Amino acid sequence: MEKVNMPSALKVIFETMSFFDLSKLARVQKVAEIQFQLQEAVKTKYVTIFIDYFSNEDTYIR
């Protein structure tokens, strides 16, 4: 499988800790950031970001 370049915000989530290891405030911020990124992806038709989220091993991100 080809490696997809993911935004740095995703790298922070995916490479450092799992979602529920983050503080509640950090989780709320990440959810808002993820929602914004997905909405923008749909608007701009840059939908490859969905692959990054839905292929993540952390089921809470998926």
Q: 33-47: per-residue pLDDT in tens?
A: 989 988 998 998 888
pLDDT of 30 over the 90 cut: no
Domain ranges in the chain are: 20-62
Of 20-24, 37-41, 49-53, 58-62, minimum mean pLDDT range: 58-62
Confidence (pLDDT) at 2: 45
- Residues 38, 35, 7, CA angle at the centre, nearest 5°? 60
Given a contact cutoff of 8 angstroms between Cβ atoms, the answer to whether 51 and 37 are in contact is: no
